Amino acid sequence: MTREIDVSRLIDDARFNRFHWMVLFWCALIIIFDGYDLVIYGVVLPVLMKEWALTPLEAGALGSYALFGMMAGAMVFGPLSDKIGRKKAITICVVLFSGFTVLNGLARNPMEFGICRFIAGLGIGGVMPNVVALMSEYAPRKIRSTLVAIMFSGYSVGGMLSAGLGMVLLPSFGWQSVFYVAGVPLLLLPVIMKFLPESVGFLIRQGRVDDAQRMLERVEPSHRASPDQMLTMPTLKADRAPLLELFRDGRALRTVMLWSAFFCCLLMVYALNSWLPKLMTKAGYGLGSSLSFLLVLNFGAIFGAVGGGWLGDRFNLPRVLSVFFAMSALSIGLLGFNSPSWVLYSLIAVAGATTIGSQILLYACGAQFYGLAIRSTGLGWASGVGRNGAIVGPVLGGALMSLGVPLNANFLAFALPGVLACLAMLAFTRSGHKRYPEKTVSIRSREAGSVGIAART
């Protein structure tokens, strides 16, 4: 008699073990370098503006090249991983963002610099939805938000590493040196690819049922494969496009609201990461002190992401996000007013916790909302649409600086998207928590003599 094994339920109910630690460690390591490569532009921006005589508008546009690449990378590599597998997609992305960030250090002019940043951006944007989808796929349901938040906190660790190394390397070795550090992931890539697991969903869709069974035994050691088992998991109808599935079965409004929140959140994140050191330099702080603000911003993000993930697992994650966005608008708006140093550092830490931290939580929210069959597509497109906000952020900061507006007006403009993101997440929450019907694919073990695949509702 055939016994059906619900793959999603087995993973959801699994106990946290060494395998989950391994997935968390390697995904977090990739995100650390991803965050380093991304924040690095804000670190070197004051030096580049002086060395290449860039106007604020030119500097803002140069910062957006990587973000255009990230938008394209998220939209391409998210869906592509469903066809070629998570490991291959992540490998390509690491090569792109690490290799071309190193080449940034060899750039002789803004054009060469911008081209390298765009290509690096393809990898930076493409790797994010894939590692989030992989972590979400293997994380037990009860701690999924927390694990995704901890994993994605590597982004903030990378940002802190970028700012910290910038404070040490820039005065002695020049701006090029901080880009050369980005070559470390290329050296570690063989090790990462050896230990990083493939998506079990991809293995099943490819008919690699024996590999899938071995992976499930690692996820849940009490599971033992046998010839009478048939693995079942969500899938899509062959004639239905994954992108259109994001708007079917009551998902349309929440998809649009999620995209809106991504847009507004990433606008705030990249406006602050790109312009906070320069704005603080304008306010009278030295370069080293201004970079310390960037360090605090990313340090705060770790507490926001982990704390928000913990709250999200115990309460309602979209509601937690709506509160975070309200706090981000308030803290950023207050940055432009004269405050004692301890108040200023506290506001920056809260801003980091509720902007960068919220970006991390939005990925966890999307991973929970979209089913396994459309998770990569959903996260890839949400991230890709959000990159438009990331592009607008640095350009907006450059435009405001060119206009010579007061310091507080810059921060008030950066705070407004926080209000809009708060409203978007409230609408997301009020639209309900409908479960949507999914197709499942069933695959019989090869040990039974054949591989049988049958889709059903």
**CATH number of the domain residue 81 falls in:** 1.20.1250.20
pLDDT score, position 259: 93
pLDDT score, position 450: 35
pLDDT score, position 449: 36
Q: For residue 112, what are the CA distances in angstroms to 33, 101, 178, 359, 395?
A: 22, 12, 17, 30, 19
Amino acid identity, residue 245?
A: E
In a domain, 451, yes or no: no
Contact 284, 293 (CB under 8 A): no
In a domain, 285, yes or no: yes
- Burial of residue 10 (CB within 10 Å: 0-12, 13-18, 19+) is middle
Q: Which DSSP letter does residue 447 get?
A: G
Token pair in block for residue 157: 């660790």
User: For residue range 229-287, what is the model confidence (pLDDT) as tens digits?
Assistant: 777 766 544 445 667 778 877 888 999 999 999 999 989 988 887 777 777 777 666 65
In a domain, 66, yes or no: yes
Separation of alpha carbons 332 and 414, rounded Å = 7
In a domain, 313, yes or no: yes
In a domain, 176, yes or no: yes
pLDDT score, position 434: 45
Is the pTM of the predicted complex or chain greater than 0.85?
A: no
Nearest residue to 400 via CA among 386, 390, 413:
413
Contact 433, 343 (CB under 8 A): no
pLDDT score, position 221: 86
pLDDT score, position 129: 81
Contact 213, 225 (CB under 8 A): yes
Token pair in block for residue 379: 């996260």
Contact 136, 120 (CB under 8 A): no
Taking residues 314-343, what's their average pLDDT? Answer: 88
Task: Using the predicted structure, report yes or no on whether residue 223 has a pLDDT greater than 90.
Answer: no
Nearest residue to 455 via CA among 140, 230, 249, 304:
230
Q: How far is CA 44 from the centre of its chain?
A: 22
In a domain, 351, yes or no: yes
Partners of 444 in the beta sheet? 230
Q: How far is CA 261 from the centre of its chain?
A: 14
In a domain, 143, yes or no: yes
Separation of alpha carbons 45 and 60, rounded Å = 9
Token pair in block for residue 428: 């997301």
Taking residues 151-179, what's their average pLDDT? Answer: 84
The C-alpha angle 338, 339, 340, rounded to 5 degrees, equals 135
In a domain, 210, yes or no: yes
In which residue are the tokens 């981000």 written?
Answer: 328
For 11, the domain range is 3-442
Buried residues in 323-336 as b, exposed as e (16+ CB within 10 A): bbbbbbbbbbbbbb
Give how many domains the chain has, as a whole number: 1
Task: Using the predicted structure, report yes or no on whether residue 435 has a pLDDT greater than 50.
Answer: no
Q: For residue 257, what are the CA distances in angstroms to 135, 262, 327, 404?
A: 23, 9, 19, 34
